[in-house]
Structure 1
Amino acid sequence: MNLRMHEELAEIWDDFESDDDMWVAVLSGAGDRAFSVGQDLKELAGREQAGTAAPSTFGSRGKPGWPRLTERFDLAKPVVAQVRGYALGGGFELALSCDIVIASEDATFALPEARLGLMAGAGGVFRLTRQLPWKTAMGHLLTGRPMTAPRAYELGLVNEVVPAADLDTCVEGWVADLVRCAPLSVRAIKEAASKSATMTLEQAFATRYPWEERRMHSEDAVEGPVAFAEKRPPRWQAR
């Protein structure tokens, strides 16, 4: 991922976030070799040698493409990662920031920054320690050791692992299930789960959730029970 790619991705995420007709995003790599191998280190090395690369640490504020997906903390729409091949460094960090991860059997995950004198500054060091047991996460962070897709599934980082030939079909099934649900309910659930993750239960119940307030007063909140009573598929309006 070079600077130009970050800029182009930011435009796509802006479009996705603002368009009410887009309910779900799927993030995948091109081809079958990698989901993403992370930062373009050749570009970084060139900027370092030219003296144009400022020291960097956590986050992308002030850099091209900000806010990147890893820092779009208020994005309430679901994002599905479709991982084939390598998901390394920033690529793994992208997957960690997605809500659902579907991987092929040949997928490999790793945060090798420690081996490169770098930092998993796009949230990897924060998200991995939240999504895995502490010592398991630290083992991978401190050594850069890779993780197979089946192992990632065992640890709960991946929702499903399938043969590469079945990856598209599997992801389509998950997307169909997401689209079958009320979009405002999906967004409210994601918002409430994300915001309350570090709260006590008492704080979580007392916190305001804008998407939940919107869902609560929406036409879809009426449509769901009515459709159930009338034994027909609901017709969601996202309003």
Structure 2
Amino acid sequence: MLDDLRCVRYEKRGHVAYVTLDRPHVLNATDLRTHAELASVWDDFEADDDLWVGVLTGAGERSFSVGQDLKELAGRDERGTPPATFGSRGKPGWPRLTERFSLFKPLIARVNGYALGGGFELAMACDIVIAAEHAEFALTEARLGLVAGAGGVFRLTRQAPFRVAMGHLLTGRRMTAARAYELGLVNEVVPAHRLDACLDGWLEDVLSCAPLALRAAKEAATVSAGLPLERAFATRYVWEERRMVSRDAVEGPRAFVEKRPPKWTGT
């Protein structure tokens, strides 16, 4: 599938993977082919040890993604396709990014416009979110007789204050990038012409860190999120165990003592 990507652009530059939803004519709505292509991309990203961080964005200047391709969905409904609920098991692209709970490489969402429905869910599945000032966020599914089944109902209530999240889930109201920043859903908001420079700044900072330390931190933070503190300390974390015995764990302190930048290898 990686040799036949039509809905997704996938580029590797150094230690960074750039994943671009490439359907600007429909505001980067995601159809079944897009999901299938994305699955191949995420598989490759996770398996390539030379890739330390990923960037997810949408083609064009208007939209990150407006979520599910509703024309395709309506067509499937007319053909009698059984209705779906939470998750993507049994559907093209499973497990989708919103369900890749063991993907511990850091991901940055570059939101350059609309992030609606499934597009907002994709952004919430990333670790760092930067947005252009004109970006808008919403889970609009209830207005369409649907539910935010790619985890929106679960993630929004965890990432924003519960009552605020319910207000958006039960109305489909949109929020501005500035409001998303106030709620802690976005890390930084900048004018559109500065979005790439903002991304470069975040990438520089992420890449200054040891890749195994990043994976260990993400794993520990996400796995322990619902655990009591005492249990969180006592839990085993695979990537932390790898980090502890890595060359990079020795290289970091040594570079500090020698007053030089560390040379990370990811080993």
For these two proteins, the number of residue pairs brought into alignment is: 238
Aligned counterpart, 2:204: 176
Matches within 5 A, 1:1-239: 1-51=30-80, 53-239=81-267
TM-score (normalizing by structure 2): 0.89
Q: Which has the higher strand share?
A: 2
Tell me which amino acid in the other structure corresponds to 2:107: V
2-structure distance, mates of 1:178, 1:22? 12
Deviation at 1:54, TM superposition (A): 1.5
* Structure 1: gaps spanning 5 or more residues: none
2-structure distance, mates of 1:121, 1:56? 8
Q: Which has the higher helix share?
A: 1
Q: Deviations over 1:9-41 (max 9, x none)?
A: 110000000000000100000001100000000
RMSD: 0.5
Deviation at 1:4, TM superposition (A): 0.3
SS in 2 for 1:135: helix
Deviation at 1:8, TM superposition (A): 0.3
2-structure distance, mates of 1:172, 1:81? 12
SS in 2 for 1:109: strand
Deviation at 1:50, TM superposition (A): 1.5
Deviation at 1:133, TM superposition (A): 0.8
SS in 2 for 1:143: coil
Provide runs of 4+ in structure 1 moved above 4 Å: none
1-structure distance, mates of 2:184, 2:52? 25
Q: Which has the higher contact order (CA 8 A, sep 6+)?
A: 1
* Structure 2: gaps spanning 5 or more residues: 1-29
Deviation at 1:150, TM superposition (A): 0.2
